Amino acid sequence: MRWTPFWSVFHKEFLHLWRDRPSLAMAAGIPLMMLLIFGYGVNPDVRRLPMSVWDQCRSAESREMMQAFVNTTYFEIKETVEGYGEVNRSLADGRSRVALIIPPDFAANMQTGRLATLQVLIDGTDPQSTRQALTMAQSLVQARGARLLQAKESTILPSFPLDARIRIWYNQELKTHFFTIPALIGLIMQNVTMTLTAFALVREKERGTLEQLIVTPVRPAELILGKLCPYIIVGMLSFTLVLIAGSAWFSVPIRGSLCLLFGLAFLFILTSLSIGMLMSTFSENQLQAMQMAFAFILPSILLSGFVFPRETMPASIRLLGNFIPLTDFLVILRGVFLKESGMGELYREVLSLAAFTVFLFVVALMRFRKRLD
């Protein structure tokens, strides 16, 4: 190999890379940022699952049982409720993942040697965390019952003094694809619509065809909307296809309203298109657009609840996940698919997604118009 031509090409390419500061910054900064974020945020172990409690006994024994659940660090009491209606709503809208129901005769049964029962309801939409919560609840009750047998004379106690009636809701068989398929639909729609828009607009910029449209009587807002509308149609068609395939092929039930699902999918597609359009305004070429898309997609997978339960993440990492629109859309998808959720349960996610859509679209529109001007 001749070294002189090699060093000439090497020097030219190195100078080109050095002058491309955006690409250089992303190549150096993104790996470090991702290592720090994902090192803290990625944790498959279940901790601090939000739990609601309906304590009908209100005794020292019931409070001791509640504290025993908290002491495991697997559960964290988020609210106290009254009645099965509030228990149902708390699980349905995601405020709690576990519900502990203590009957009014709990303390009396423990004191008189009769079998004391309690009820544990677990949201089964995430099989991984559900299995761990189920195992921990069973182990806790077994350990508490064993201590009761040792502490009192066994002659006045039944063979085992404590019983937990554990029920799993929404996904009783703990089928993993009930959890993954709705999430995959959301991730696919985000990635397809975002990258299509970003790459298409940057490609037109590189070819100079976008500038040719500027000299026509078409206004910037009309140009942008005209560019986006075909991608909205493509996005809705893609959503319909993956929805049918995911539900029919993998036998995932859609228990909620299809009209609500399609309406909120349209809102999410607008958000993803706005993200893609915003990326295109910061990108000078398709390589930069690809780097930005990659830098956005990976956090979307790991911080949105797509793979790992968000309850296990530190508060600061959960806060970062709140700024990813996919986080809200995954709650919507899983809620409509598995919980038959409506606007009453999903209004927080819908408002958040609507705010994302308006903000991102306005910012992208302003930056795009500035680039055109």
Tokens 């068609």, residue located: 237
Q: What are phi and psi of 118, to 5 degrees?
A: -145, 160
End-of-domain residue from the set 144, 169, 194: 169
Nearby residues of 69 by Cβ (< 8 Å), 6 or more positions away: 51, 75, 77, 100, 137, 140
pLDDT tens column, 323-365: 999 999 999 999 999 999 999 889 999 999 999 989 988 888 7
Residue 232 has pLDDT above 80, yes or no: yes
Question: Are residues 285 and 181 located together in one domain of the fold?
Answer: yes
pLDDT of amino acid 214: 63
Segment 11-16 mean pLDDT: 70
Percent of the chain with pLDDT over 70: 83
Question: Are residues 246 and 157 located together in one domain of the fold?
Answer: no
Confidence of residue 220 (pLDDT cuts 50, 70, 90): low
Of 129-138, 232-241, 277-286, the least confident: 277-286
End-of-domain residue from the set 169, 201, 221: 169
pLDDT tens column, 142-197: 888 777 777 665 545 455 678 889 999 999 999 999 999 999 999 999 999 999 88
User: Is 333 part of any domain?
Assistant: yes
User: Is 77 part of any domain?
Assistant: yes
Residue 240 has pLDDT above 90, yes or no: yes
User: Is 275 part of any domain?
Assistant: yes
Question: Are residues 250 and 183 located together in one domain of the fold?
Answer: yes
Cα angle, residue 79 at apex, residues 76 and 85 outer, rounded to 5°: 125
Segment 205-211 mean pLDDT: 70
User: Is 34 part of any domain?
Assistant: no
311 alpha carbon, distance to own chain's centre: 10
Domain count, the chain: 2
End-of-domain residue from the set 136, 153, 169: 169
Question: Are residues 195 and 142 located together in one domain of the fold?
Answer: no
Residue span of the structural domain in which 163 resides: 49-169
Q: Give strand pairing partners of 119.
A: 101, 165
pLDDT of amino acid 326: 95
- Residue 122 and residue 150 in contact, taking contact as beta carbons nearer than 8 Å: no
Q: Give the number of other CB atoms < 10 A from CB of residue 157.
A: 19
Residue 22 has pLDDT above 80, yes or no: no
Q: Give me the CATH number covering residue 158.
A: 3.40.1710.10
Question: Are residues 164 and 150 located together in one domain of the fold?
Answer: yes
Question: Are residues 192 and 146 located together in one domain of the fold?
Answer: no
Question: Are residues 145 and 262 located together in one domain of the fold?
Answer: no
Question: Are residues 217 and 316 located together in one domain of the fold?
Answer: yes
User: Is 54 part of any domain?
Assistant: yes
Question: Are residues 188 and 155 located together in one domain of the fold?
Answer: no
Q: Give strand pairing partners of 166.
A: 120
User: Is 41 part of any domain?
Assistant: no
User: Is 203 part of any domain?
Assistant: yes
Question: Are residues 140 and 187 located together in one domain of the fold?
Answer: no
Structure tokens at 230: 């075909």
pLDDT of amino acid 99: 95
Question: Are residues 201 and 350 located together in one domain of the fold?
Answer: yes
Q: What are phi and psi of 59, to 5 degrees?
A: -130, 175
- Return the DSSP state at 312: G
Question: Are residues 265 and 366 located together in one domain of the fold?
Answer: yes
Reduced 3-state DSSP string for 149-207: HHHCCHHHCCCCCEEEEEEEECCCCCCHHHHHHHHHHHHHHHHHHHHHHHHHHHHHHHH
The residue among 285, 275, 91, 93 whose CA lies nearest residue 191 is: 275
User: Is 318 part of any domain?
Assistant: yes
